[in-house]
Structure 1
Amino acid sequence: MADVPPPDRPDGPSHEPSSISDEELESFLREAAEGGGAPAPKEPSARARMVAARLREQEQPTPWRGPQPAPKPRRRWGAVVGVVALAAVAVIALRPSLVTDYLPGGEAKATASPAPLPAETARPSGAPGDTGGSEQATRDAPFRGSPALRWAEGADAIELPEAKAVAGMSRADAELALRRTKEFLVAANLDPDVIAGGRPDEALDLLDPEAQKDLLPDQRRGLREPSREHDPVGLFSRFDPDEVRLAGDVVKVRGRMSLAGGKPGEIKVHADYTFVYPLVRADGGDHVERTIVRREITTLLLDPDRWYATPGKLAIHEYKVNTFNTACAVYDGYLHPVFPEDRERATGPSVDPYDRSGELRDTQGEECGTVTRT
């Protein structure tokens, strides 16, 4: 956690025959979907075994990286590892669509666009439910199988709360603080040039050089010479353009923003957002991997009559980040999505990167673990 208060002024597939008919399996699946208690058939059909085999082939453990003991905490988790393979009938009982999507008429159901989620206004009570995580993302459908499929896109997903006068400052000041915070989030996480490895100059220009003497020099140093102590991914979402590029032009976003007053002349804006980036290798190929970044940031808009501050500029009171499906122990200023051929054996705990119900995770050491899905 980087907590930097501003200074105040001095004054202030199997093909063998099945003993279970398709009609029996269909009846079982229908009863399972409706919550019935019918016992499972003794043997799944060939289609069921084919689906389960494909699921097992896709399950590979991969790493996550815990936070570094640096002034600006950041945590990374590696690529997705599937839940332990279950018997075919058990898997299908939980998700009948694994079979029904392959029956006549099922494909259209599988590809239908789900209804978008309403805006997030408070901390969720739990992680999103199963959203077909075994369904493979493609260039044309890069969010298939992800909860982010129902999330809003890009800057439009960052909605501003109602402004009000706080801490002796006007409603217009609060509106400015909210707007500047959104501008920073967009410039730092959604600017296509920044995502493609460019310098986040627009975001840096929103920060106050007067209120925080070290922040801007530290960030510029990290962009020039990234290291574990000065890694710009703490604030900016950047990928190596020689390695990967976005699959399409959409980044999914979900989160919320709130306004509060601090000390007199100090407006605080707290933002908690998760960004989902679908990526493909820069040298070609159709395989899509998603990197997920959750950020919490608290910005300050200060009254220059009471604080050493530049009018209209933001100070950063605190920021934290968790990153998921990115290589462990790499401090080169970029996030590195992990593709199947690059996956490592993971030893740490599993994490759901879409679970926004709790605080950002704060672990110790350099452990690598797994994420349950991307």
Structure 2
Amino acid sequence: MATVPEISDDDWEKFLRESAENTSAEAPKEPSARARMVTARLREQEARGELPEGWRTGPAWRDTEARARKRRRLWTFVGVPVAAALAFVAMKPSVIPGDPFGTGSTGTDVAATPLPPETAAPSGAPGAVDPDAPTQARPFAGSPALQWADGAAGIVPPPATAVKGFTKTQVKDLLAKTRALLIDTNLDPATLRGARPDAASKLIDPLQKDVHRLLGPALSKPGKKDDPLLLTSRFDPAEVRIAGNVVKTRGRMTFAGDKDGSVVVRADYTFVYPVVRAGTPADDKDAEATRTIVRRLLEVQLSDPARFQVTPGTVFLAQNQMESGNSTCDVYDGWFHPEFVGDRSSGPAPSGPEEDPYDRSKELDTGTPGVEEPCGTVSRV
């Protein structure tokens, strides 16, 4: 699949210079007030993260990326679960045919009534469930996610309608692109094993160099400032593999026009990844499994190319937040590291508050700017 190449620094400088001087007949033009801005001023503001409002090469993204890096990585807390009876619900067949994770295992968690789609924030966290220990055959045992949808079946866009300045068809296309972005970065089996999410890279405006860095170079050279987990879910195949062929998904998607005359899709989804240790035989049904829970909030934007500097056919990632539960704390090697019962974390002891990673009733906390938040604990996995 074709990918969007990164823009070199020389080309980037040329683009900024031509935009400021208004000399290029090929580059799309911003409003005249912005076109008169000199290159030096733009580059100085960019370095400080203070690009002017409406400059669509990343002020909102850069601000959000900085907050996301300060998010707590929720740490596993293995305590005494609260037992409560809950009717089991039937698991739908995976939306990806066959056995995409190559395990030969299908999972045997079965129940009767799946939850209806989420259309608004729930009033509270899911109730306690039967405290069964997860195994390779039953990777969602003891988890509220047993009632959640399977994979991409849980990402259902709302019906599209026209928004001021945009047709119903354009809004429908933006919703579809947002869904494809979520699937490629969070559910695609190759992405989960560490491959580059090429479909997502093709969707994102190439002018968002910082985003493309996370979808490209950061995959091979990750770090605290370039952490691909901000955008993609990845598990080291040398350490763990997905148990069975299902990742559970729950969330909702909405859209609206904004004050700048753009249309914005807001996607808030939680993904539950069941894993077993690498090397576990596929036929060992009783092998220990554990789960990593990842919640993501994206705002995907479509702007008028007559008013803003955008690349037609692509979308602008205006906001991104991520919170993970049950992954070793303060590790920035580009992988989630699920912890099993009895594992001793190599990271620092958690000092932050305990949280329920299944609780979707609360908004994601953006944290305090400039303050590194402590690692917390999760009340259940």
Change over 3 Å in CA distance of 1:125–1:151 after alignment to 2: same
Say which SS state the counterpart of residue 144 (structure 1) adopts: coil
Counterparts of residues 239-250 of structure 1 (less than 5 Å): 239-250=235-246
Counterpart-to-counterpart distance in 2, 1:241 and 1:270: 32
CA deviations over 1:182-241 (Å, ceiling 9, x no partner): 00000000000001111112211110113x343323542312310001000001001111
1:77 and 2:84 correspond = no
362-371 or 158-167: which moved more? 362-371
The letter of the residue matching 1:225 is K
Say which SS state the counterpart of residue 335 (structure 1) adopts: coil
Question: Contact 1:157 / 1:254 at 8 angstroms: preserved in 2?
Answer: yes
Aligned to 2:25: none
1:371 and 2:378 correspond = yes
Aligned to 1:310: 311
CA deviations over 1:126-165 (Å, ceiling 9, x no partner): 0000111x21111111111100000001111101111111
The letter of the residue matching 2:150 is E
CA deviations over 1:312-347 (Å, ceiling 9, x no partner): 211100000000000011101111101223234543
Percentage identity across aligned positions?
47
Counterpart-to-counterpart distance in 2, 1:299 and 1:284: 39
Aligned to 2:355: 351
1:164 and 2:161 correspond = yes
1:9 and 2:30 correspond = yes
1:267 and 2:274 correspond = no
Counterparts of residues 59-70 of structure 1 (less than 5 Å): 70=66
Aligned to 2:272: 276
Counterpart-to-counterpart distance in 2, 1:336 and 1:118: 31
1:192 and 2:189 correspond = yes
The letter of the residue matching 1:163 is A
2:134 corresponds, among 117, 129, 137, to 137
Counterpart-to-counterpart distance in 1, 2:352 and 2:343: 18
The letter of the residue matching 1:332 is D
Counterpart-to-counterpart distance in 2, 1:162 and 1:317: 22
Say which SS state the counterpart of residue 236 (structure 2) adopts: coil
Question: How many pairs does the alignment contain?
Answer: 291
Aligned to 1:174: 171
Gaps of 5+ in 1: 1-6, 13-67, 85-90, 98-110
Aligned to 1:230: 226
The letter of the residue matching 1:208 is D
Aligned to 2:327: 326
Counterpart-to-counterpart distance in 2, 1:8 and 1:297: 27
Higher Rg: 1
Counterpart-to-counterpart distance in 2, 1:131 and 1:185: 28
Counterpart-to-counterpart distance in 1, 2:246 and 2:119: 23
Aligned to 1:4: none
Change over 3 Å in CA distance of 1:182–1:112 after alignment to 2: closer
Question: Contact 2:72 / 2:373 at 8 angstroms: preserved in 1?
Answer: no
Counterpart-to-counterpart distance in 2, 1:112 and 1:233: 31
Q: What do you get for the CA RMSD once the two structures are aligned?
A: 2.5
The letter of the residue matching 1:150 is Q
The letter of the residue matching 1:168 is G
Aligned to 1:33: none
Counterpart-to-counterpart distance in 1, 2:29 and 2:68: 23
> Which consecutive segments of 4 or more residues in structure 1 shift more than 6 A?
none
Counterpart-to-counterpart distance in 2, 1:347 and 1:114: 39
Change over 3 Å in CA distance of 1:96–1:317 after alignment to 2: closer
Counterpart-to-counterpart distance in 2, 1:191 and 1:69: 23
Change over 3 Å in CA distance of 1:176–1:96 after alignment to 2: closer
Say which SS state the counterpart of residue 296 (structure 1) adopts: strand
Change over 3 Å in CA distance of 1:263–1:144 after alignment to 2: same
Counterpart-to-counterpart distance in 2, 1:351 and 1:367: 13
Question: Contact 1:167 / 1:263 at 8 angstroms: preserved in 2?
Answer: no
Counterpart-to-counterpart distance in 2, 1:128 and 1:264: 37
Aligned to 1:49: none
Q: Per-residue deviation at 1:96?
A: 7.2
CA deviations over 1:92-141 (Å, ceiling 9, x no partner): xx7479xxxxxxxxxxxxx7614100000000110000111x21111111
- Give me the TM-score of the superposition, normalised by structure 2: 0.71
CA deviations over 1:235-292 (Å, ceiling 9, x no partner): 1001111111000110000000001112455210000000000000112271101000
Say which SS state the counterpart of residue 122 (structure 1) adopts: coil
Gaps of 5+ in 2: 1-27, 34-63, 87-108, 282-286
Question: Contact 1:167 / 1:264 at 8 angstroms: preserved in 2?
Answer: no
Aligned to 2:113: 115
